[in-house]
Amino acid sequence: MSKVLVTGGTGFLGAHILVQLLNAGHDARATIRSMDKKDRLLKMLQAGGARSEALELFEADLEDDNGWAEAMADCDYVLHVASPFLPEAPMTKARSSARRETAPYGCCRQRVRPASNAL
Ligand SMILES: NC(=O)c1ccc[n+]([C@@H]2O[C@H](COP(=O)([O-])OP(=O)(O)OC[C@H]3O[C@@H](n4cnc5c(N)ncnc54)[C@H](OP(=O)(O)O)[C@@H]3O)[C@@H](O)[C@H]2O)c1
């Protein structure tokens, strides 16, 4: 069985993935932005019939470098599904700025930089 980190465990995809991983017998980890959301997540997993004893939670925010190395230590896989809401629309900035504002594959640097904290 694998040890898998899911970023954004409180999200729609994150919680569903965690249920699948835990029910399949994997050791799952999840990042959440605040431990205040832990009980909500555990209730969602319980509703999905998941065994939450095999779940480890780590506090980490994509806007910050802290917590990611610990969350990923010894993991076999990372499923990065956390998705930050940006304070301004990326395309507006990309359109109004020079090409240097645009990251590869058409993504805006604003979205890529937070993801790189996790990756
Ligand atoms: N849902 C779908 O059917 C679907 C289909 C295809 C693609 N996607 C893509 O998959 C991604 C996730 O979708 P979703 O439906 O699961 O979204 P969601 O329910 O809104 O979940 C987003 C998750 O990201 C976390 N998050 C937000 N900002 C963060 C930050 N700065 N640092 C760390 N975590 C942060 C949220 O945490 P909090 O709980 O703390 O806010 C939440 O756990 C999105 O990019 C979406 O476009 C979704």
pLDDT grade for 12, boundaries at 50, 70 and 90: very high
| Distance from Cα 13 to the centre of ligand 1, integer Å | 7
Query: Quick one: residue 12, left, alpha or beta (phi over 0 = left, psi -120 to 50 = alpha)?
Result: alpha
Same domain flag for 66 and 13: yes
Same domain flag for 107 and 75: no
Domain carrying residue 93: 86-119
For residues 56 and 96, which has the higher predicted lDDT (pLDDT)?
56
Same domain flag for 49 and 105: no
Same domain flag for 91 and 55: no
C-alpha angle 42-45-51 in degrees, rounded to nearest 5: 95
How far is it, in rounded angstroms, from Cα 63 to Cα 93? 18
Same domain flag for 69 and 58: yes
Same domain flag for 75 and 32: yes
Residue range 109-119: average pLDDT?
Answer: 59
How far is it, in rounded angstroms, from Cα 58 to Cα 108? 27
Pocket of ligand 1 (CB under 6 A): 8, 10-14, 33, 37, 61-63, 81-84, 114
Q: What is the pLDDT of residues 30-83, one digit of tens each?
A: 999 999 999 999 999 999 999 888 999 999 999 999 999 999 999 999 999 999
* Percent of the chain whose predicted confidence (pLDDT) is above 90: 65
How many separate domains does the chain show? 2
Same domain flag for 72 and 96: no
Average pLDDT of the chain is 83
The enclosing H or E element of 6 equals: strand 3-7
pLDDT number for residue 16: 97
Same domain flag for 46 and 67: yes
Note the helical H segments in 6-104: 12-23, 38-47, 68-72, 90-96
Query: What CATH number does the domain containing 29 carry?
Result: 3.40.50.720
Same domain flag for 110 and 75: no
CB of 80 closer than 8 Å to CB of 72: no
C-alpha angle 119-61-47 in degrees, rounded to nearest 5: 100
Same domain flag for 71 and 15: yes
DSSP 8-state assignment for residue 104: G
> In testing the pocket of ligand 1, which one of 10, 13, 113 has its CB within 8 Å of the most ligand atoms?
13
Same domain flag for 78 and 48: yes
| Distance from Cα 1 to the centre of ligand 1, integer Å | 26
pLDDT score of 97 more than 80: no
Same domain flag for 94 and 59: no
Q: Which atom of ligand 1 is nearest to the CA of 63?
A: 31
Give me the sign of the Cα torsion angle 17, 59, 46, 77: positive
